[in-house]
Structure 1
Amino acid sequence: MEELIFYERPKLENASMVIGFTGWMDGGGVSSGTISLLRDSIKTSPLAEIDSRNFYILNFPGTMEEVAQFRPYVVLKDGLVKSFEYPVNEFLYSQEHNLVLFFGKEPNFRWEEFCNHLLTVAEEVGVKRIFFVGSFSGLTPHTREPRLYCSLSHERLKTELAPYSVRFSDYEGPASIATLLLLRSRERGLEMFSVAVEIPMYVRATNPKGIRAALRFIVPFLGIEVDWAELDKLCEDFERHVDELVKQYPDLEQQIRKLEENYDQEILGDDQSFKDWLRRHGIDTI
């Protein structure tokens, strides 16, 4: 069976594609949440999918709780199997907005083949520019706007980022598939921006402020409208809820004030002290 399945083959002109993955760089639901909000903001049609069966670990040693995230999803009703779902990797498109959306699960195997399928869809329908949105845990306090870090397929793209408050990534460590896509996009003559939103390391929950920060960056490039009022309300509720939780940990509250001071002075840098403080006090996430 073909791994790359087309449902339509529209012809777009200098189109954009926004991609998101669950997994490695979806902390706070920033990657998945950004795609979901874009999908809800415009009318889209199915374009294609990547058959997932040869890309994922389905059986992994461990407890039921540990391996649940790897297993297919099943629905049983009255003793009968109603559905059996593998991970979904789907492409949607909007002819009106000259836009393609991709959302899937970061693959465990065959990254090169997966990237090839994704970029083949881009070339087939006329995409010229790709945006990836992800996140990572860092030292941004929840009371401030998340910082954005960007990696690029081409040096020349940096000039377009001058109006935006983004930093260029300096990083060495484990990679995501988005980094491989940067390399392969450049080789195939496609432009790509990879945007990583820094979210608070002490909060493990859906982070609407991270989603809003990502959208504020990419929406001007896409020329579409989103419901900012609803998203702003979610951000206010998120900050208020975390404030209430933090009050239960007076020492943590004091440490967050230090993060705010450093953030405001823009001299935070690579401060390890807060990470060490969290570990010493046995605080993982709230």
Structure 2
Amino acid sequence: MADSVHSSPYLSWMQIPEQLRAPILVMGFHGWPNAGSVSSDTLYYLTQALRPRLAARLDEETFTNYTSDRPIAQIEDGIIHELDASVSELTYWENSGGEHDLLLFLGKEPSFRWNVYATIFVDVIHRLRVRKVFTIGGVQDTVSHTSSALITVVGSSNSVLDEMTQLGYGVRPSEYYGPVSIHSHLVKTFSEVGIDATSLWGHVPAYLEKSPRVVARIIGILNRLVGLRCSTEVLDQKSQELDRKINEALAKDPNLKQFVESIGGPKNPRNHVKGNEKIIRLDDFVKRDHSKDPDI
């Protein structure tokens, strides 16, 4: 491991984990491809479970459009105490129980210079001899919270797709035409330099902001692919609790219940929800104090 700090215009290395064994890179992004917080929640969960070490920080200012993605500040008594500096971290974890060590990255989807952004990670892949890359995304869909979690996949090759669809988790090849995220750009770029890359997409009900069931399914897939033993017990408990709250909410509102039950039925094929469509959300309803609601 290098003791000195290595820097580039965008990526500052704290330490270079040169000893990693056949590492696999898992990437997540805030922003447009993070419906249901699937991408960020998956990376947060892995970080909490594995406690990886810091390898490098990416300064995202060059890639951020501050007119649409404003920095977050904490102001108390007129004084600014914290200001989001738009810095994301690349971490690493040595997997003593498996053949592959792990690299984790969670950042904001870049607004500009996708080619430059992709090149940064091509360099990381070559420097650390990364074997495979997985990007994690979330998409709003006409699926129900009671349905088995749907995961679709975009891959850099037919062999990658075959590996994914044979896992036994109901993973399906993606069928899509429309605007794409940084995930697709990265997969295409990595494939051009001979790196196996896979983009896993969790489909979440359009009426929910969180889906621990979908995150648990993705963690289960990564367990198989990477050789992890990351328990999903906490996510399973959260799923059950969310289901309970949703059922209580639906019992209070027959119209809402009819809407939710109509989703994912035979007359409702799974289609991506367009960004300009109005989304009915249960989250605020679930959090309400229903003791103050009038009797139905």
Question: The TM-score by the shorter chain falls in which range?
Answer: 0.7 to 0.9
Contact kept, 8 Å, 2:219 with 2:232, in 1: the verdict is no
Residues 143 and 263 of structure 2 are in contact (CA less than 8 Å); yes or no, is this contact kept in structure 1? yes
Aligned to 2:87: 88
* 1:76-104 deviation line (CA, Å, top 9, x unaligned): 45655443322222100013351000000
Residue 57 of structure 1 aligns to a residue in which SS? coil
Instruction: Report whether the alignment pairs 1:141 with 2:144.
Output: yes
Deviation at 1:236, TM superposition (A): 0.2
CA distance in 2, matches of 1:283, 1:180: 27
- Determine the C-alpha separation between the residues in 1 that align with 2:180 and 2:162: 25
C-alpha spacing 1:202/1:77, structure 2 compared with 1 (3 Å): closer
The CA deviation at 1:271 is 6.8
The amino acid of 2:136's aligned partner reads: V
AA of the residue aligned to 2:30: T
User: Which residue does the alignment assign to 1:223?
Assistant: 227
2: CA distance between counterparts of 1:270 and 1:139? 5
Say what the alpha-carbon RMSD is for the aligned residues.
Answer: 2.3
Q: CA deviation at 1:73?
A: 2.5
Structure 2 residue 14 is the aligned partner of structure 1 residue 7? yes
CA contact (8 A) 1:50 1:117 kept: no
Q: Is the 8 A contact 1:28 1:210 kept in 2?
A: no
* CA displacement 1:184-227 (0-9 Å, x = unmatched): 01011111110111111122x22111211211222211212223
**Aligned with 2:175 (options 163, 170, 195):** 170
Which piece of structure 1 moves more, 111-120 or 178-187? 111-120
Q: Which position in structure 1 is the counterpart of 2:115?
A: 112
Runs of 4+ in 1 over 6 A off after TM superposition: none
Is residue 155 of structure 1 aligned with residue 151 of structure 2? Answer: no
TM-score in terms of structure 1 length: 0.85
**Paired residues, number:** 265
The answer on 1:202 being equivalent to 2:207 is yes
Q: Alignment partner of 1:93: what SS?
A: strand
Residues 43-64 of structure 1: CA distance to partner in whole angstroms, max 9, x if unpaired? 311111221111111135xxxx
Offset, 1:143 = 1.0
Higher relative contact order structure (alpha carbons within 8 Å, sequence separation ≥ 6): 1
Contact 2:142 2:269 in 1 (8 A): no
2:269 alignment counterpart: 269
SS in 2 for 1:241: helix
2:73 — aligned with what? 74
Q: From the superposition, tell whether residues 170 and 77 of structure 1 become closer, same or farther in structure 2 (CA, over 3 Å).
A: same
Deviations 1:251-285 (A, max 9, x none): 332243343553xxxx853579xx8xxx8xx8632
CA distance in 1, matches of 2:259, 2:37: 25
8 A Cα contact 1:41 1:225, kept in partner: no
Corresponding residue for residue 211 of structure 1: 215
Distance 1:101 1:252 in 2: 39
Residue from 25, 29, 38 that aligns with 2:33: 25
Q: Please give the alpha-carbon distance, in whole angstroms, between the structure 1 residues aligned to 2:211 and 2:26.
A: 19
Corresponding position of 1:46 = 54
Question: Structure 2 vs 1, CA of residues 142 and 3 (structure 1 numbering), >3 Å: closer, same or farther?
Answer: same
Residue 100 (structure 1) aligned with residue 115 (structure 2): no
Identical residues among aligned pairs (%): 25
1:104 and 1:283 map into 2 onto residues whose CA distance is: 25
Determine whether 1:184 maps to 2:189.
yes
Relative distance call for 1:253 and 1:79 in structure 2 (3 A) is: closer
Alignment equivalent of 2:281, drawn from 276, 282, 285: 285
Give, in whole Å, the separation in 2 of the partners of 1:189 and 1:260. Answer: 38
Residues in 2 aligned to 1:160 and 1:146: alpha-carbon distance in whole angstroms: 19
User: What is the rounded CA distance, in whole Å, between the counterparts of 1:7 and 1:271 in structure 2?
Assistant: 43
Question: 2:153 touches 2:161 (CA, 8 Å); kept in 1?
Answer: no
Partner of 1:67: none
